[in-house]
Chains A and B, each alone.
Chain A
Amino acid sequence: MRAVWKAARAAVRRRRLQTLVIWLVTLVSTGALVVALGLVDAASAPFDRIFGAQHGPHVVAVFARDRVPDAQLTRAARAPGVEAVAGPFAQAAVNVPRGASDYGLGGEITVVGRAGPGGAVGRVDLWAGRWATRPGEMVLNRQSEWTADDLGRKFHVPSGPTLTIVGFAFDLSHTADAWVAPEQIGALHPTGSQLLFRFHDAATESGLRKQLAEVTGKLPRGALAGSRTHLALKHRIGSNARAYAPYLMAFGVLGILVAVLIVANVVSGAVVSGFRHIGILKALGFTPGQVLGVYLTMISVPAVLGCALGTFVGNLLAHPFLKFAFTGPASGVLHDSLGIAPWVNLLALLGMPLVCVLAALGPAVRARRMPAARAISAGSAPRHGRALGIQRRLASARLPRSVSLGAGLPFARPARSALTLAAVVLGVTTVTFAAGLAATLDSYGNVGHSTYDVTVYVGNHRHGKEVRPVHGDRELQSLLGGLPGATHVTARSDDEALLVGSTQVVMFEGRRGGRSLDSALVRGRWMRRTGEVVAGSPFLRRNGVHLGDRIRLRKDGREEEVTVVGETLDTDDRLVIGAWPTATALMPRVQPIAYHVKLREGAGQEAYARAVRAADPGLSVQLSGSNSVTGTIIGSATGLTLMLALVASLGVFNTVVLNTHDRRRDLGMLKSIGMTPRQVTVMTVTSMGVLGALGSLIGVPLGIAAHGVVVPRMAAGVDITLPRAMTDVWHAPLLAVLALAGVLIAVLGALVPARRAARLTVAEVLHNE
């Protein structure tokens, strides 16, 4: 054992560069693997994971307090099929006018009286402050939009008590907008009792409805005021995650493949290039088992160190990716719960060294069986010219000899070249896919972006109080249009209405000024006259509305029939857009909430914003910038792509290091007959350039295919249809650049070892032989 350790240690010392390469490749590959698996894990089931962690209710049912007492509800909840139940909790609907101090809770909010955040069902994540334990205290249902600094602020319930915010908690199932102590809820005049159920069979909507019917069967008629299932919730929330999941999954799978391939290539290559050394060990009297031990130890030391550090680095890198994709109001992730799942770290820590050992085992076992003399002679370049035929043809080609020699080199070690090619192909696939994704998202993010430069909101907040504009609506529009730089002003209103015949709440957007703002038309046309509207794709899909259909909208008892004439590229499933006369027909007292201002070429946004603030302190200004979501996706995709391309380049780097090591005698000889350092570099880089070109040839179509599969699924995740112009991104210039991606990956990986090969001292190399 001592001899094995000694020989392995000596081998590691002698092969410092190779050891460094193994360490570096396992580090980067493991890091990429952790990020990739982390993304796959997070993208697979973000809802299920958090829902499970919170013991989320399969059904949230609200009962009318005036129809059924709590005691009867408690008895009814003991029905067969019920796995666990929480409640009844008194539930009140509180009307909060929109204003400066409402914490975004404008409209009607649901407040529930609950003694604590835990329980058998619906455990909410209290991530800041504490629970409301006495009257006058309140906990808000928030993910992480507010900091703990907001704790202690007052919330005034109109015609009710003033509550102090003592905590922030996140409830994925959104059973309440706010919680108060049970002793406080009475003052808010609760009308409902909330029960949270978990059922044994929660797989289908119909199954859940049936089980709920069994619970409510013996209750008075009309006792059940409303209910919703976790399946409906699952679809509604997490649209961000649904949109990101296919793309993250694609990157994850690519990352795993690249990481495993490169590690296998590096490790098996290290053993193959050590055959001569193996032969010498055998000649010295090492048993086959000891030889195997030496090689596995030699590989394992840097590999295990690389894997351990790579896992750590992967965790650090994964955090920002997960944060952008899986946080936000619709993502359904617990506050501060982002991180790599333990199984991912375990798999990386155990799996990658195992991949290394398995990759080393094949050639090591072969070397173990090989007679010493053969192993020694196998140490240099292959004895039997596998590449003979190809080299013969290349020798006659009208190419510089250094180029034709280099082009034939990959055929001398076909297995090593195949693994390297596979890594380059995956690298190119990633680059192509990411480039396509970026082009599509860029096009999506910039839809209608040039239609306005500044948004001026009606109302401003100063010292916690709302400041209203001093000018009226029409005055404001002409004021904004008259400020220096403005060319066009579109007023916009947003008001809720009801889609008659359903419970669907519609966000009716009225526009005055005729510009298309930031929506793109997917099908149909823009509204031209009163009574015509356009709607977002999700609205049309979820309500079964088609272009040309007439729908009725109701607001404050007034009903209007409108015709849907166009489908816009919006992700909001409630959005319906109409011209101002249509809005006023439905809502006679409609007022704009914002004005979108187009500035003339060269006019500064900041200067215009200053002019607006000076003109009316009751206005707040937002400048148009790049779309943050698409920007984040593009940014993260670029990061992931660079990481995978780096891993692929490292694979090439390793192959060239091994090839140079294997062929150092040939290189020395070539230099001795007059090959210049530049020719050596050209030959070595060409050998990988061939693989790079082949990699592009295979990888670009694969990347295009991946884009074709993933992008529509991303769009479907948020119920939109991308127009063809956004998915047809494969134009000649882009393809030409992508065709170079493989060559670039190969050349970048090959350049350093190629230059090193060019500097080989001939006398030393040939003398050593």
Chain B
Amino acid sequence: MVNEVRTADTVVRLDGVRKEYGETVALDGVSLEIRAGEAVAVMGPSGCGKSTMLNMIAGLDRPSDGTVVVHGESVGELSEKGLALYRRRRIGMIFQFFNLIDDLSALDNVALAAQLTGTPARQARRRALELFEELGIAGRRNAHPAVLSGGERQRVAVARALMNRPALLLADEPTGALDSRAGEQVMDLLIDLNQIGQTLIIVTHDRHLAQRCASRLVELADGRVTGEQALEPAA
């Protein structure tokens, strides 16, 4: 078992988290700690509660019981507005199906995240452009999401997730909708981000992705943590 001691640089702490949807128990007393700079992969069969756990950490859903503390904030106790501000400041999310807004250009999709915080449009676009350049998609900044490839779309989604410099980057099956080449590109990107200190939680079915990108593996089954193991750093 990895790191059972609570340390000062703990970013995420789940304590006995339980989530019920009617009679279905999605999470059943999950406890977990994640430290700053860690890259944690969460794996398990379908319906084991991986995405539910990620949603709890992201503040997209509230636990039925237990606490989720991120950077000292008890997520479950935040108001709706508090949760929105929390997501804005602390969290960057990457989805399997990208979730880009079709009406906006790639650049505007990314700038949007900063503009919601009140950042002026010009400044937001400048920051978005920097990210586009870092992620190698600057040439596609004015493209419409519908004309981007899957890999490009996911890189745009990553750029959007990084826009507000989040403390925690959450990725839900980030390569699930990509072909192997695009998947590899996204994996490289996540590794690079983690190497520069970005705390990362990846929910995946893909053991290869977990092996490459994560330093720790958390396994879930039937809403419970069934195992944790340290992973070798990516080659």
Q: In B80-122, which residues have CB < 8 Å from any A CB?
A: 80-81, 84-85, 87-89, 91, 93, 95, 97, 99-105, 108, 111-113, 115-118, 120-122
CB of B31 closer than 8 Å to a CB of A: no
Q: Which of B53-61, B131-139, B190-198 makes up part of the contact surface?
A: B53-61
For residue A492, CB closer than 8 A to chain B, the reply is no
Which residue, B91, B108, B125, has most C-beta atoms of chain A within 10 A? B108
Residue of B with least CB distance to A386:
B103
- In the complex, per-residue mask of A600-639: 1 if CB is within 8 Å of any chain B CB, else 0: 0000000000000000000000000000000000000000
Bound-state Cα–Cα, A679 to B81, Å: 10
Q: Is B146 positioned at the interface, with any CB of A under 8 Å from its CB? A: yes
Give bound CA distance, A672 to B100, whole Å. Answer: 12
A396 touches B (CB below 8 Å): yes
B101 and A666 contact, CB distance less than 8 A:
yes
Answer whether A673 and B144 are a contact pair too, CB < 8 Å, given A397-B121, A668-B99.
no
9-residue interface stretch from A387-395, A434-442, A457-465, A688-696: A387-395
Residue from the list B52, B111, B118, B144 in contact with A388, Cβ < 8 A: B144
Q: Which chain B residue has the least Cβ–Cβ distance from A387?
A: B103
Q: Decide: A412 near B60, CB < 8 A? Known: A397-B121, A674-B116, A677-B81.
A: no
> In this assembly, does B51 line the interface, its C-beta being within 8 Å of a C-beta of chain A?
yes
Known: A392-B105, A396-B121, A766-B60. A672 touches B144 (CB 8 A): no
A470 to chain B minimum Cβ distance, whole angstroms, is 80
Distance in angstroms from B162 CB to nearest chain A CB is 11
Chain A residues 659 to 702 lying within 8 A of chain B, measured CB to CB, are 665-666, 668-679
Please name all residues of chain A whose beta carbon is closer than 8 Å to the beta carbon of B116 when the two chains form the complex.
Answer: 401-402, 670, 673-675, 679
Are B103's CB and A762's CB within 8 A?
Answer: no
- B94: min CB distance to chain A, Å: 10
Given known contacts A397-B121, A672-B93, A676-B84, A769 and B115 CB-to-CB distance under 8 angstroms: no
How many residues of B are counted as interface, with CB atoms below 8 angstroms from the partner's CB atoms?
42
CB pair B84–A382 under 8 Å, yes or no, is no
Minimum CB distance partner of B100 in chain A: A669
Assuming the contacts A385-B103, A388-B104, A767-B51, asked whether A674 and B80 have C-beta atoms less than 8 A apart, the reply is no
B160 within 8 A of A: yes
A672 and B103: CB pair below 8 A?
no
Most chain B CB within a 10 A radius of its CB, from A392, A405, A677, A763:
A763
Contact (Cβ within 8 A) B81 A678: yes
Instruction: Knowing A385-B102, A385-B103, A385-B104, say if A676 contacts B93 (CB, 8 Å).
Output: no
Chain A residues whose C-beta falls within 8 Å of the C-beta of B113 in the assembled complex: 673-674
Expressed in whole angstroms, the Cα–Cα distance for A676 and B85 within the complex equals 7
> Cβ of A381 < 8 Å from any Cβ of B?
yes
Point out the residues of chain A lying under 8 angstroms from B55, CB to CB: 762-763, 767
Is there a chain B Cβ closer than 8 Å to A16's Cβ?
no
Give every chain B residue within 8 A of A763 (Cβ-Cβ). 51-52, 55, 60-61
Asked whether B164 is an interface residue with its Cβ less than 8 Å from the other chain, the reply is yes
Chain A residue with Cβ nearest B110 = A673
> Which of B87, B102, B112, B144 gathers the greatest number of chain A CB atoms within 10 Å?
B102
**A673 in complex: contacting residue of B81, B104, B112, B120, CB < 8 Å:** B112
**Residues of B close to A386: CB separation below 8 A:** 103
- Residues B104 and A382 in contact, CB atoms below 8 Å apart: no
The listed residue with most A CB atoms (<10 A of its CB), out of B104, B113, B161, is B104
Distance of A412 Cα from B144 Cα, bound (Å):
14
Interface status of A75 (Cβ within 8 A of chain B): no
Q: Tell me the bound Cα distance from A154 to B172 in angstroms.
A: 95
Q: How far is the CA of A675 from the CA of B134 in the complex (A)?
A: 26
Q: Say if the beta carbon of A72 comes within 8 Å of chain B.
A: no
Chain A residues numbered 755-769 whose CB sits less than 8 Å from any CB in chain B: 759, 761-763, 766-767, 769
Asked if A383 is an interface residue, CB under 8 A from chain B, the answer is yes
> Could you say which of B99, B102, B117, B145 contacts A674, with CB atoms under 8 Å apart?
B117
B-side contacts of A766, CB under 8 Å: 60, 95, 99
Q: Which residues of B contact A672 (CB under 8 A)?
A: 58, 60, 87, 93, 95, 99
Q: Are A673 and B93 in contact (CB under 8 A)?
A: yes
The answer to whether A353 has its CB under 8 Å from any CB of chain B is no
Docked Cα-Cα span, A420 to B23, in Å, equals 42
Find chain A residues with CB under 8 A from B115 CB: 395, 401
Contact of B80 among A388, A392, A408, A676 (CB under 8 A): A676
| Interface residue SS majority, chain A | helix
- A589 in the interface (beta carbon within 8 A): no
Nearest-CB distance from B20 to chain A (Å)?
Answer: 14
Interchain nearest-CB distance for B161 vs A (Å): 8
- Bound together, the chains give a CA A766 to CA B93 distance in angstroms of 12
Whether the pair A674, B60 counts as a contact (CB closer than 8 A) is no
Contact yes or no, A675 B84, CB < 8 A: yes
In the bound complex, do residue A677 and residue B84 qualify as a contact, i.e. CB atoms below 8 Å apart? Answer: yes
Are A383 and B146 in touch, CB under 8 angstroms?
A: yes
Select one of A381, A678, A761 contacting B103, CB under 8 A: A381
B168 to chain A, nearest CB (A): 13
Identify which of A387, A397, A673 contacts B87 (C-beta below 8 A).
A673
Within 8 A of B (CB), among A336-389: 381-388
**Which of B61, B84, B103 has most A Cβ within 10 Å?**
B103
Contacts of B146 in A (CB 8 A): 383-385
Inter-chain contacts of B52 with A (CB < 8 A): 763
The docked-state distance in angstroms from the alpha carbon of A328 to that of B51 is 73
Q: Whole-angstrom distance from the CB of A432 to the nearest CB of chain B? A: 33
Distance from B98 Cβ to chain A, minimum over Cβ atoms (Å) = 9
The interface bits of chain A over 399-438 (1 if a CB of B lies within 8 angstroms of the residue's CB, else 0) are 0111001001100100000000000000000000000000
In the bound complex, CA of A387 to CA of B103 (Å): 6
Is the beta-carbon distance between A761 and B61 smaller than 8 angstroms?
A: yes
Q: Which residues of A contact B95 (CB under 8 A)?
A: 669, 672, 766
Given contacts A384-B146, A766-B99, contact A391 B81 (CB under 8 A): no
The residue in B61, B84, B161, B164 that gathers the most chain A C-beta atoms within 10 A of its C-beta is B84
Cβ of B91: which chain A residues have Cβ within 8 Å of it? 674
Q: Is the beta-carbon distance between B81 and A676 smaller than 8 angstroms?
A: yes
For residue A674, which residues in chain B have a CB less than 8 angstroms away from its CB? 84-85, 87-89, 91, 113, 116-117, 164
List residues of chain A with CB within 8 A of the CB of B85. 674, 676
The answer to whether B101 touches A669, judged by C-beta atoms less than 8 angstroms apart, is yes
Residues on A with C-beta less than 8 A from B160 are 673
Contact status of A412 and B61, CB under 8 A, knowing A384-B144, A677-B84: no
Judge whether A673 and B102 touch: CB under 8 Å.
Answer: no
Q: How far is the CA of A395 from the CA of B123 in the complex (A)?
A: 12
CB proximity of A765 to chain B, nearest CB, Å: 9
Roughly how many angstroms separate A674 CA and B144 CA in the complex, as a whole number? 22
Shortest CB-to-CB span from A281 to chain B, Å, is 22
Q: Which of B33-79 contact A (CB under 8 A)?
A: 51-52, 55, 58, 60-61
Complex formed: what's the CA distance from A673 to B162 in Å?
10
Q: What are 16 sample pairs from A and B whose C-beta atoms fall under 8 A apart?
A: A384-B102, A387-B103, A388-B103, A392-B105, A401-B115, A402-B116, A672-B95, A673-B112, A673-B161, A674-B91, A674-B116, A761-B61, A762-B55, A762-B60, A762-B61, A767-B51
Binding site for B on A (CB under 8 A): 381-388, 391-392, 395-398, 400-402, 405, 408-409, 412, 665-666, 668-679, 759, 761-763, 766-767, 769
Given contacts A388-B104, A398-B120, 4 further A-B contacts (CB under 8 A): A401-B116, A673-B113, A674-B88, A766-B95
CB-CB nearest 8 A-B residue pairs: A674-B88, A401-B115, A676-B84, A669-B99, A763-B61, A763-B55, A763-B60, A762-B60
